[in-house]
């Protein structure tokens, strides 16, 4: 067996790269058909030049005469193909830097080898461009990341997903420590890295992955520090994560009529009718939807506002319970039932509208009936 394989490799080496001229010991006929639908997936590591390996897959035609498949590869065009391995599974894991080209043959129980499958070219040129810009937003115990979707736009059919990496940041040395780990993956160009410790800075970088597994260069690496704040509140659309889709400015849990810190800025389920509002995906927009009886909202002013503190006063008007579109940079004023015969007013400025979530700043006037909104909910 070993002798016949060596003879085969010599013949293959003389046969250049035309698949029809590649054959096993049994020639191109054989008792079993050549494998079909050979494809590959690269295993990304974070380093575009050093994938962890590659997985080949092909169809199992169920032929009872089939004994084993043989995988052949070569590292460069012009080299001869060599046997990379044999397997009884219709897949093959090749660890390390992948070779350039692969094909597979089938061998029958009688030792007859089929002709070759088509050759797959493992082409790192399929890799997408890295995201050109990455923007962090400090959150309470988390960091929200948004980046340019240029990798997806470069090849929507070849794009698979993004990988988000993070590591510790050394504030004194102003460097990201070399202990990068995978934070998560996402299809949308946005990600919230959660369960972070407030006051501890972290570095982040993003790569784009093709459907073959090719990894792009990274986005610029940035660092950010999560911190407790009444700004940069994240709310998800209820269709995406109902448990984090509801927001209530103030809930007087202890019934004393006073707004303690722990009663302010509460997130909960978007399906919970006691929340002030939820976020709803509708027709490609994200809508702020008042929930609780007595809660209404109106846009503040004729256009975007520079900051939350630009919303300094709740206009004397009717506040509608109708849904209203969340738009980046725009301000919103809320009126709510304080439960004591007086209204409560709140301000909200949307700083980011994504596909599945919004980020916003908010302020809440704790003084019953007072429409002054400059004081934030911190």
Fill in the per-residue mask, 203 to 242: x = in contact with Ca ion (CB under 5 A), - = not in contact.
----------------------------------------
Q: Which is nearer to Ca ion, 4 or 254 (CB)?
A: 254
As a dihedral over the C-alpha atoms of residue 252, residue 345, residue 330, residue 321, rounded to 10 degrees, the angle is 80
Q: Between residues 260 and 320, which has the closer beta carbon with respect to Ca ion?
A: 260
| C-alpha angle 75-76-78 in degrees, rounded to nearest 5 | 135
Cα angle for residues 92, 98, 100 (degrees, 5° grid): 105
Is residue 282 at the binding interface for Ca ion, with CB under 5 A as the rule?
A: no
Q: Which is nearer to Ca ion, 77 or 253 (CB)?
A: 253
The distance of closest approach from Cβ of residue 200 to Ca ion in the complex, given in angstroms and rounded to an integer, is: 31
Torsion angle (degrees, nearest 10) of CA 188, 194, 196, 198: 90
Binding flag, residue 18, Ca ion (CB under 5 A): no
Residue 112 CA, distance from chain mean position: 47
Q: CB under 5 A: which stretch of 64-72, 200-208, 254-262, 356-364 binds Ca ion?
A: 254-262
Would you give the distance in Å from CA 54 to the centre of its chain?
22
266 binds Ca ion (CB under 5 A): no
Closest CA to 83 of 5, 22, 30: 5
Cβ-based nearer residue to Ca ion, 102 or 247 = 247
Span near Ca ion by CB under 5 A; candidates 50-58, 78-86, 246-254, 273-281: 246-254
- Cβ(313)–Cβ(304) below 8 Å: no
- State which H helix or E strand residue 43 sits in: strand 39-43
Which residue lies nearer to Ca ion by CB, 56 or 275? 275
Q: Is residue 256 a contact point for Ca ion (CB under 5 A)?
A: yes
Kindly state whether residue 36 participates in binding Ca ion, applying the rule CB under 5 A: no
Sheet with 134-139: strands ordered across = 134-139, 142-147, 190-193
As measured in angstroms, the least distance from the Cβ of 233 to Ca ion is 20
Phi, psi of 165 (to 5 degrees): -110, 150
Assess 252 for contact with Ca ion (CB under 5 A): yes
Using CB under 5 A, list all residues that contact Ca ion. Answer: 252, 254, 256, 258, 260
């Amino acid at each position: 067996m070993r002798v016949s394989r060596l003879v085969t490799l010599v013949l293959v080496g003389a046969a250049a790269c035309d698949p029809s001229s590649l054959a096993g010991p049994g020639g191109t006929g054989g008792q079993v058909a050549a494998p079909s639908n050979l494809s590959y997936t690269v295993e990304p590591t974070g380093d575009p030049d050093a994938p962890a390996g590659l997985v080949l897959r092909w169809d199992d035609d169920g032929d009872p005469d089939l004994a084993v498949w043989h995988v052949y590869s070569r590292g460069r065009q012009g080299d001869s193909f060599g046997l990379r391995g044999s397997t009884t599974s219709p897949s093959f894991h090749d660890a390390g830097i992948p070779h350039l080209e692969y094909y597979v043959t089938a061998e029958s129980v009688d030792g007859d080898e089929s002709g070759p499958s088509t050759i797959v070219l493992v082409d790192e040129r399929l890799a997408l461009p890295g995201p050109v810009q990455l923007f962090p937003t400090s959150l309470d115990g988390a960091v929200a990341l948004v980046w340019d979707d240029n990798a997806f736009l470069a090849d929507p059919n070849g794009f698979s997903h993004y990988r988000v990496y993070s590591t510790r940041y050394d504030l004194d040395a102003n460097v990201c420590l070399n202990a990068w780990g995978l934070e998560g993956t996402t299809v949308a160009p946005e990600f919230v890295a959660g369960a972070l410790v407030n006051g501890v800075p972290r570095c982040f970088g993003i790569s784009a992955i093709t459907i073959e597994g090719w990894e792009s260069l990274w986005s610029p690496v940035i660092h950010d520090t999560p911190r407790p704040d009444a700004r940069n509140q994240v709310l998800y659309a209820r269709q995406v994560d109902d448990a984090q889709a509801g927001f209530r400015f103030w809930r007087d849990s202890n019934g004393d009529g006073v707004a303690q810190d722990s009663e302010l800025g509460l997130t909960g389920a978007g399906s919970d009718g006691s929340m002030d509002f939820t976020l709803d995906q509708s027709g490609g927009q994200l809508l702020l939807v008042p929930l609780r009886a007595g809660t209404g909202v109106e846009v503040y002013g004729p256009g975007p506002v520079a900051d939350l503190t630009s919303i300094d006063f709740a206009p004397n008007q009717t506040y509608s319970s109708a849904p209203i579109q969340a738009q980046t940079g725009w301000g919103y004023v809320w009126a709510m039932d304080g439960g004591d015969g007086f209204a409560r007013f709140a301000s909200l400025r949307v700083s980011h509208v994504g596909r599945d979530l919004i980020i916003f700043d908010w302020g809440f006037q704790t003084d019953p009936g007072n429409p002054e909104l400059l004081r934030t909910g911190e």
